[in-house]
Structure 1
């Protein structure tokens, strides 16, 4: 069985039968075959590199794309070996591809040994690809598992130096890519300020709407040498986020799908088809481009559950504007909290949520890891800040002024002359409207994250808590690094969350215009305002390394010094590490 990473038990016979029906054009590779030549065959080159992904204990997906010499049915072959010289072949074969699948090819190399490194390559006529390296999942006792975690790679925003740095590592078991593998925006739009100077203008020029559009953009991304190198060196385990379709996607629409852009579902299906063509992900059934939630078992140490919080079931995001009175500017917190905690409000959907609960409850692994897109930690800020009616510095200043006023009204004898003078000059700033805003409760700052879907978060935390699971959640999406305690409604710590920065997409330093000199103070202020938040980096691009042992999990945030130049080094001054010991859902420094 392939069962190491399946949602349900699928036999090889079932898998082969589905493949014969056209299952994502996956070809099953069982063993050694003779390779017949065809004098009439068409051939091509491997301009987009090679890749592997979705490892199982006895299988792995191998991927490539052939750029044809002329349009037509193109022939190619593959080889898998235990040595780099390919003298110890374990499986090989041949197949064809064509424009119907954008000349991409996926091979499900099965019959492999657990916990074993393999080399693979493709051939088409006289053209041979680079040699790739991949690894199957281990069985039984495992001393250590190590992941690189990354997300949010925007081609025009800068060079993929983060991929380049990660590709130099030789100690990774897999790369977890948590989405926004590409972006849908047109030329000159989001984060494209320096694209022309860096020769990173996007193709096609317009926003992605059709299958051809998405395929072209994937082809451009996969032409990047740094991304090719990382794919070549280590297996990827991918999930999508919103920009693989369009910004703030939910099941029936998106913020960036507008009038005149056609039917959203047609656009979504085109985007997801291109995703399955271009990523080394194992499809589940013929023509099914929507289900990607699945599990990977790294021996008895780690069970990794990859989730879809974006496409399959997400309800539309709440909007703070709907809770602010247009006349008074007052925020209706009661109505907002009723909506955000509604038990019918879904991010995962009933089927996926039940699958996750069952998987976690049946698991005997030391660590339960949820690989998904958006922040699960409670990222609440004072309502005046979350609704952008006040900036952080302004709020802190006015809150301090209100505290002075309260002390003065109570006749506090410890007030200094300077404090009284400051209060006298600024008292008028404490208008009734300002005082009302200062007294509003803290609310989520990001309703696109789990904070906008509170009920299902509580279900997951209760599931982990009921069996005393060691729960670790990893997230991307925000373009900044975070570390959170995951607390349930009663305030009890149930697990931890580690969130990675972006590969190239700008973060809060871009949106809020935070100067480098002010960054440490701003980061400290945010950590101080958010109860469960224990670390953030709001400026730097990078990735995260998670190392699991039986005793602990450790997160190391790795940053590059620039994405504006190909000449880059690791930015060590801002590097950070945190860990959680098994059995104690508390973040501590190593």
Structure 2
């Protein structure tokens, strides 16, 4: 920790909590102890004026709830340069008639005027209200909730991902704010890195949602500006004010298709070292999101959050810390067709990793040590086995298919469905060969790292865990059975649709996307539900013996005048006894 910066922080704590006001940045967290153990000297910051006036343009937020603590966050916009003194309060009632904890501290431009408080000494499973103050300016009042302890009968979460600001309005966040859940799980792509006019920006100017800055974001200043724009959105602010968030990053918090040492959307020759870009992106992420400071390295975000004896929420990083570079299908093209055997061999390579050795060992330790009734993985990419006949993937891959990829893809899908609907003995040799050519659909997901997926699911089978995997990333909704390498049912996967980012409807067209979703469920044995058309979110409600997943959608993201799309609503219930998804 920078000693000068440390000396500029000061806190006055009273009430039941012992907490520090921490403006947090990833680079300065390296080697720091847990924030609740830090005591910041009561020394006035210098140089520069102290306590300049400021306002709260980016809302407030809370996150990473445990049984006795929660992170509180805000960001202030000062009227003039200098250090800003910020006060905070936590109360039992919305009118703050009973203040349980309070304190103050300073923030400055070194951390983009962001503020974090790790409030401790709270009661388990309890709702609290909080607010911030700078002189006579007071933030909005927001609500948070700690995790339960001991015997716990139920818990519920909203699950979101993939919110591209220029694509449309954040109506999904507005809906999430109104849901009666314990917390919101954000599984990544909280922001996107593209320049104006880039990915999914066709309506941005008309909607008044052209991104800032006016370039692809590369530097710390760029990432901070983009977060500031996103956090100015009133619907996102409403969701944060209503519920604590539990957050992990995916690729677009850095750059598209990020992996351990690079990204598809990063050109080292023109954009500099990827490591510098990644460090800037991670620093801004820690500054702008209500996540607890790490105790070792700022790049480790995997963590376990227990909810009583009901469930262990295990948050993973399948994107940055350990991932080998993802394959793409042109890697396996031979003579204009995909080499099926080469593809299978590559994704099944025992040396290939998605999590990295350290995180994989940690995950197995958490699973083995869990005594909760449910084990929940909150992570970025699909874990289910989504294999499709290779001619479908050849037809839909622009670099392989012809001029009319949609027509060719539709024909290939219909041919495969016709073959799949026949009894094995009634299929022609060509039809059976078509089905036998199935290869992974999404090489960026666990499908591209099959050996490690088998290791995790086989370990789950050995333990007898009751596994529920939550995923985002694809912009579409999915529900799948999870099986070990021997075909044993070991869990279920629920994947959320996107907040705004376009799904397969943008690739296939709305009509084809509506047609393909049920056909995909015919072709993929473990897939029981898919929606390729609608934007929305997922809620998962856990009870002692069952989990209920509900997919909810909004009618439009092109206008703030919307309704819930009740026709697209979907509910699935899984019994703990058999984990069978129907």
CA distance in 2, matches of 1:395, 1:559: 30
Task: Show the 5 A alignment for 1:124-139.
Answer: 124-139=134-149
Give the alignment's Cα RMSD to 1 decimal: 3.2
For 1:426, the equivalent position in structure 2 comes to none
Q: CA deviation at 1:27?
A: 5.8
CA distance in 2, matches of 1:190, 1:149: 23
Give every structure 1 segment of 4 or more consecutive aligned residues whose post-TM-superposition deviation is greater than 6 Å.
Answer: 12-21, 400-403, 434-437
Aligned to 2:373, which of 366, 369, 381?
366
Greater Cα offset, 392-401 or 563-572:
392-401
Q: CA contact under 8 A between 2:149 and 2:307: conserved in structure 1?
A: yes
Q: CA contact under 8 A between 1:383 and 1:437: conserved in structure 2?
A: no
For 1:42, the equivalent position in structure 2 comes to 52
For 1:569, the equivalent position in structure 2 comes to 563
CA distance in 2, matches of 1:550, 1:283: 32
Aligned to 2:546, which of 540, 552, 576?
552
> Are 1:510 and 2:520 matched, yes or no?
no
- Normalising by structure 2, report the TM-score: 0.88
SS at match of 2:510: coil
Q: CA contact under 8 A between 1:29 and 1:107: conserved in structure 2?
A: no
For 1:393, the equivalent position in structure 2 comes to 410
CA distance in 2, matches of 1:560, 1:196: 22
Q: CA contact under 8 A between 1:29 and 1:92: conserved in structure 2?
A: no
Q: CA contact under 8 A between 2:165 and 2:230: conserved in structure 1?
A: yes
CA deviation string 1:473-515 (max 9, x = no partner): 0000000000000012212211000000000000000012232
Q: CA contact under 8 A between 1:178 and 1:475: conserved in structure 2?
A: yes
CA distance in 2, matches of 1:324, 1:437: 18
For 1:355, the equivalent position in structure 2 comes to 362
For 1:377, the equivalent position in structure 2 comes to 384
CA distance in 2, matches of 1:402, 1:146: 41
Aligned to 1:581, which of 564, 571, 575?
575
Q: CA deviation at 1:13?
A: 11
CA distance in 2, matches of 1:203, 1:17: 27
CA deviation string 1:547-568 (max 9, x = no partner): 0000100100000000000011
CA distance in 1, matches of 2:203, 2:524: 34
Q: CA deviation at 1:28?
A: 4.1
Task: Show the 5 A alignment for 1:153-552.
Answer: 153-169=163-179, 171-258=180-267, 259-285=269-295, 288-325=297-334, 328-387=335-394, 388=396, 389=401, 391-396=408-413, 398=415, 438=434, 441-515=437-511, 518-552=512-546
SS at match of 2:459: helix
CA distance in 2, matches of 1:504, 1:456: 31
SS at match of 1:260: helix
Aligned to 1:23, which of 7, 26, 29?
29
Q: CA contact under 8 A between 1:29 and 1:93: conserved in structure 2?
A: no
SS at match of 2:97: coil
Greater Cα offset, 110-119 or 554-563:
110-119
Query: CA 1:396/1:459 → structure 2, altered by over 3 Å: closer, same or farther?
Result: closer
Q: CA deviation at 1:520?
A: 4.0
Query: CA 1:63/1:346 → structure 2, altered by over 3 Å: closer, same or farther?
Result: same
CA distance in 1, matches of 2:419, 2:121: 69
CA distance in 2, matches of 1:161, 1:439: 41
CA deviation string 1:267-317 (max 9, x = no partner): 01100100000000012137x321100011000001000000001010000
For 2:10, the equivalent position in structure 1 comes to none
- Normalising by structure 1, report the TM-score: 0.87
CA deviation string 1:300-354 (max 9, x = no partner): 00100000000101000012212111xx224322222221111110000111111
Q: CA contact under 8 A between 1:29 and 1:91: conserved in structure 2?
A: no
Query: CA 1:13/1:353 → structure 2, altered by over 3 Å: closer, same or farther?
Result: farther
Q: CA contact under 8 A between 1:313 and 1:349: conserved in structure 2?
A: yes
SS at match of 1:376: coil
SS at match of 1:94: strand
Please list every run of 5 or more consecutive structure 2 residues that lacks an aligned counterpart in the other structure: 1-16
CA distance in 1, matches of 2:339, 2:22: 56
Larger radius of gyration: 1
CA distance in 1, matches of 2:432, 2:525: 22
> Are 1:102 and 2:109 matched, yes or no?
no
CA deviation string 1:165-222 (max 9, x = no partner): 11122x2100000000000000011111111011000000110100000000000000
Query: CA 1:471/1:15 → structure 2, altered by over 3 Å: closer, same or farther?
Result: farther
> Are 1:90 and 2:97 matched, yes or no?
no
CA distance in 2, matches of 1:402, 1:232: 51
CA distance in 1, matches of 2:284, 2:411: 46
CA deviation string 1:424-473 (max 9, x = no partner): xxxxxx9x9x9998366100111000000111211211221112111000
Aligned residues: 547
CA deviation string 1:522-554 (max 9, x = no partner): 221111111110000000000001000001001
